[in-house]
């Protein structure tokens, strides 16, 4: 089984070496233009290189060299992030095979064609052992499907025509039986193809927050550029004109190069962490929005509960023994292939030791299927008949045959209904005797650990709302058992939409999971819509994320990844801005201490010479980018907490740390640089 955690995808130092050629290729000015901050550094590197060639000295060559390293290390951060995505994409490509599809023609015959030639609405036949050639919807048949090539999950899943489990993914393998699949995507646009494009970064667009931060960094760069340019006339007037190399070094050290260099890598790594958890995001905006979600809407069926009601209790009535009720309930359900019918057989086998398969005598009976008119099902044997179904329907069946329904049946049915369960009354006719044996309780079984999951969401400041079409009694019972904050019962699609709009009008971001066609409008309206891969194509097209594992509780991890992305970006921005303080104390005394001796008091790091101070600041400015690459890729660790507590923690760790670290780092670099002739 594939598992993940926040912070997965650990950094490997070897990635720096393997990504170095890509980092060199990114030195092209066309690539640098995408990042205004690093483009200024690139221009400064070219300028200082020209002066180093025209008037070579150890100082100018050192500054030019380390400015190029600054640009190169920024490229390296992005290249490492992209390299990890390319490795994942290569794994997906190996999983994707060239498939020959069995396409149905208009006259019902089969023709074999390459999978890449399939078009939308083509019908293909897939049998046991064959690979599904493309994304689509099952229109005929039921089969067990192995999705491990896509999801990493070894357990097979059931896919069948009709309902909410009819969607299949190209590249998965049919393990049993036969399916007819209607293709729903064009070649090159399947979920696997989109996932490959996502992890390679080809389809990644800057998110609104990332664009806003880029504008802020560009504005700061322009301000510092104007400040440095205006510094030269002042320096000339003071009798200490500065060289272009020194001014360039000052500019590069003052602008926010650290976050400018890591910004793209942070975004790519955030998407990478999402893909590691088998979530396909069609929008980077959705990943960021997940970090700001304050309301989470969850569909009850298949999300909070297992999706099908299960038999959980047998209540005998009228003097019948529970073992007698179990025998009759099992017999009435042997031919019932619905999930509820199978659960009754399993309950009788687990608690009463009854066999799960029919004997030869039982197989000879005539199965009576459930219909909306009779609201009962059962089996007729020689001289014997059993029925199970709604209380009113079974009461009428018993009365027609001259039997009597015990008074306690109504009390048991009312109690089970009040608890949110579904009562099925079981009756038997043997010879001339008709008797009600008891009542089977069907319950919505809440998935394990859901209560703990919702407590975790509350710690994140997220309100949970369960949405269901069930009656209020059932909804309340499931809500209390699962621990959700609120619920909406008897919800129709338009009521789901209205609830989402009310939440959004209050300024809250809303996330929702769903898998059915009736969930599609709400998924489209929500800020973060996570559709299950096992769900309908309409749901997957409406959402902006698809969970390939079809685990509705994974939205908690998605929210944590979104928060981690925002926190990482904010933390490294804080660190980058705080970094500048130490550089003032390093470069400004070095520039003007000759004419203003009082400025030497600002040289609190006691750097050896003006040249060593400038070179040390430039070297530290480059090396800190490499040092922060692992953090940018891994992400700042997220712990469920309030926004104010997270802000205090990040200001202390990355604000204070950003001030102290460069003082220590520049001082240590200076201890080495001062030994270089021509600088120290």
Name the phi and psi angles at 31, rounded to 5.
Answer: -75, -40
Q: Which two tokens stand for residue 667?
A: 């001082």
Chain segment 363-378, per-residue pLDDT in tens: 888 888 877 677 888 9
Q: Are strands 293-299 and 463-467 parallel, antiparallel or unpaired?
A: parallel
Residues known to be catalytic: 299
- 403 with 419, same domain: the answer is yes
Residue 374 labelled as part of a binding site: yes
User: Residue 481 and residue 32: Cα distance in Å, rounded?
Assistant: 55
User: Pick from 126, 156, 186: which residue ends a domain?
Assistant: 186
108 is a domain residue: no
CA angle (346, 347, 352) in 5-degree steps: 110
In the predicted model, what is the mean pLDDT of residues 604-631?
Answer: 86
Model pLDDT for residues 99-131, shown as the tens digit of each residue: 778 888 887 788 888 877 778 888 888 888 788
Do 477 and 351 lie in one domain? The reply is no
Task: Please indicate, yes or no, whether residues 423 and 463 belong to a single structural domain of this protein.
Answer: no
Percent of the chain exceeding pLDDT 70 equals 87
- 353 and 411 fall within a common domain: yes
Q: Is residue 159 part of a domain?
A: yes
Q: pLDDT tens, 295-340?
A: 888 877 667 777 667 888 899 998 888 998 999 999 888 877 777 8
Range of the domain at 517: 279-304+447-548
Same domain, 257 and 347: no
Q: What is the CATH number of the domain that holds 313?
A: 3.40.1110.10
Q: Which helix (H) or strand (E) holds 169?
A: none
Please state, in angstroms and rounded to a whole number, the distance separating the CA atoms of residues 191 and 169.
Answer: 7
**The pLDDT of residue 4:** 38
Q: Which of the four pLDDT bands, split at 50, 70 and 90, describes residue 65? A: very high
- Answer yes or no: is 375 a known binding residue: yes
User: Residues 413, 328: one domain?
Assistant: yes
Is 200 a residue whose pLDDT tops 60?
Answer: no
Residues 346 and 417 reside in one and the same domain: yes
539-591 confidence digits (pLDDT tens): 777 888 888 777 777 877 888 888 888 888 889 988 988 887 777 777 777 77
370 is in an annotated binding site: yes
In this prediction, residue 9 carries a pLDDT of 44
Kindly report the CATH number assigned to the domain that includes residue 161.
2.70.150.10
HEC assignment per residue over 89-133? HHHHHHHCCCCEEEEECCCCCEEEEEHHHCCCCCEEEEECCCECC
Among 544, 628, 12, 643, residue whose Cα is nearest residue 274: 544
Per-residue pLDDT, 3: 37
Q: What is the 3-state secondary structure (H, E, C) of 291-333?
A: HCEEEEEEEHHHHHECCCCEEEEEEECCCCCHHHHHHHHHHHH
Structure tokens at 217: 């960094």
pLDDT band at 620 (very low <50, low <70, confident <90, very high): very high
The residue out of 517, 548, 579 marking a domain boundary is 548
Question: pLDDT at position 558, please?
Answer: 86
Q: Tell whether residue 342 is among the known ligand binding residues.
A: no
Q: Do residues 313 and 297 share a domain?
A: no
* pLDDT of 8 over the 80 cut: no
Does the annotation place 373 within a ligand binding site?
A: yes
**8-state DSSP, 446:** B
pLDDT band at 71 (very low <50, low <70, confident <90, very high): very high
Q: What backbone phi and psi angles, to 5 degrees, belong to 190?
A: -70, 170
Domain count, the chain: 4
pLDDT for 413-435, tens place per residue? 988 887 777 899 999 998 788 88
For residue 416, what pLDDT is reported? 86
What pLDDT shows up at residue 115? 74
Asked whether residue 599 carries a pLDDT value surpassing 70, the answer given is no
515 is in an annotated binding site: yes
pLDDT at 594: 59
**Is 377 annotated to bind ligand?**
yes
Sheet bearing 310-316, strands edge to edge: 310-316, 433-443, 422-430, 384-389, 376-381, 366-368
CB contact at 8 A, 546 and 535:
no
DSSP string, 378-418: EEEETTEEEEEE-HHHHHHHHHHTT----THHHHHHHHHHH
Q: Which of 35, 25, 34, 8 is nearest to 625 (CA)?
A: 35
**Which residues, at least 6 apart from 193, have a Cβ–Cβ distance to it below 8 Å?**
none
578 and 670 together in one domain: yes
**526 labelled as ligand-binding?**
no
Among residues 158, 186, 214, the one where a domain terminates is 186
371 is in an annotated binding site: yes
Assigned domain for 113 exists: no
Same domain for 204 and 74: yes
């Amino acid at each position: 089984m594939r598992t993940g955690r926040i912070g997965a995808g650990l950094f490997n130092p070897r990635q720096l070496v393997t990504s170095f050629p890509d980092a060199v290729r990114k030195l092209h000015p066309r690539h640098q233009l995408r990042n205004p901050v690093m483009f200024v550094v690139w221009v400064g590197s070219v300028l200082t290189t020209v002066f180093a060639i025209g008037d070579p000295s150890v100082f100018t060559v050192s500054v030019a060299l380390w400015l190029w390293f600054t640009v190169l290390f920024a490229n390296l951060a992005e290249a490492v992030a992209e390299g990890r995505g390319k490795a994942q994409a290569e794994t997906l490509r190996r999983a994707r095979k060239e498939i020959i599809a069995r396409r149905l023609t208009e006259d019902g015959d089969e023709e074999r064609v390459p999978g890449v030639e399939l078009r939308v609405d083509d019908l293909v036949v897939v049998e046991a052992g064959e690979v599904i050639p493309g994304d689509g919807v099952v229109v005929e048949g039921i089969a067990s499907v192995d999705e491990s090539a896509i999801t990493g999950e070894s357990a097979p899943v059931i896919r069948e025509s009709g309902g909410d489990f009819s969607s299949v993914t190209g590249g998965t393998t049919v393990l049993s039986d036969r399916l007819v699949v209607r293709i729903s995507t064009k070649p090159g646009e399947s979920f696997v193809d989109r996932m490959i494009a996502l992890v390679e970064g080809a389809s990644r667009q800057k998110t609104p927050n990332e664009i806003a931060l880029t504008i802020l960094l560009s504005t700061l760069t322009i301000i510092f550029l104007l400040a440095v340019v205006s510094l030269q006339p002042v320096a000339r007037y003071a009798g200490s004109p500065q060289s272009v190399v020194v001014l360039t070094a000052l500019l590069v050290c003052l602008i926010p190069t650290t976050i400018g260099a890591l910004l793209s890598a942070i975004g790519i790594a955030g998407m990478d962490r999402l893909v590691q958890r088998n979530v396909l995001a069609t929008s980077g905006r959705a990943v960021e929005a997940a970090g700001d979600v304050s309301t989470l809407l969850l569909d009850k069926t298949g999300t909070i509960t297992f999706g099908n009601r299960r038999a959980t209790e047998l209540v005998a009535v009228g003097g019948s023994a529970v073992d007698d009720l179990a025998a009759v309930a099992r017999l009435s359900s042997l031919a019932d292939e619905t999930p509820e019918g199978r659960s009754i057989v399993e309950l009788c086998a687990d608690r009463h030791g009854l066999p799960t398969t029919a004997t030869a005598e039982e197989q000879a009976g005539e199965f009576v299927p459930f219909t909306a008119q009779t609201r009962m099902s059962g089996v007729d044997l020689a001289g014997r008949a059993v029925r199970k179904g709604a209380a009113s329907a079974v009461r009428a069946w018993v009365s027609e045959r001259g039997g009597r329904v015990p008074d306690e049946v109504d009390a048991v049915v009312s109690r089970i209904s009040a608890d949110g369960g579904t009562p099925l009354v079981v009756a038997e006719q043997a010879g001339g005797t008709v008797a009600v044996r008891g009542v089977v309780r069907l319950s919505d079984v809440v998935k394990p650990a859901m209560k703990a999951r919702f407590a975790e969401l509350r710690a994140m400041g997220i309100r949970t709302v369960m949405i269901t079409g069930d009656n209020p009694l059932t909804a309340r019972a499931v809500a209390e058992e699962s621990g959700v904050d609120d619920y909406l019962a008897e919800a129709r699609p338009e009521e789901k939409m209205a609830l989402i709009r009310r939440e959004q009008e209050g300024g809250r971001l809303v996330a929702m999971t769903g898998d059915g066609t009736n969930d599609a409008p709400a998924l489209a309206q929500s800020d973060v819509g996570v559709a299950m891969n096992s769900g309908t194509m309409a749901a997957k097209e409406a959402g902006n994320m698809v969970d390939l594992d079809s685990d509705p509780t994974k939205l908690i991890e998605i929210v944590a990844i979104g928060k981690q992305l925002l926190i990482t970006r904010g933390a490294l921005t804080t660190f980058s801005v705080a970094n500048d303080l130490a550089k003032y104390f390093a470069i400004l005394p070095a520039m003007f201490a000759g004419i203003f001796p009082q400025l030497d008091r600002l040289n609190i790091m006691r750097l050896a010479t003006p040249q060593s101070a400038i070179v040390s600041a430039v070297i530290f400015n480059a090396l800190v980018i490499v040092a922060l690459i692992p953090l940018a890729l891994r992400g700042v660790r997220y712990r469920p907490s309030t926004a104010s507590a997270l802000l205090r923690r990040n200001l202390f760790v990355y604000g204070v740390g950003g001030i102290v670290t460069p003082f220590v780092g520049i001082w240590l670099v200076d201890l080495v640089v001062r030994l270089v002739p021509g600088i120290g």
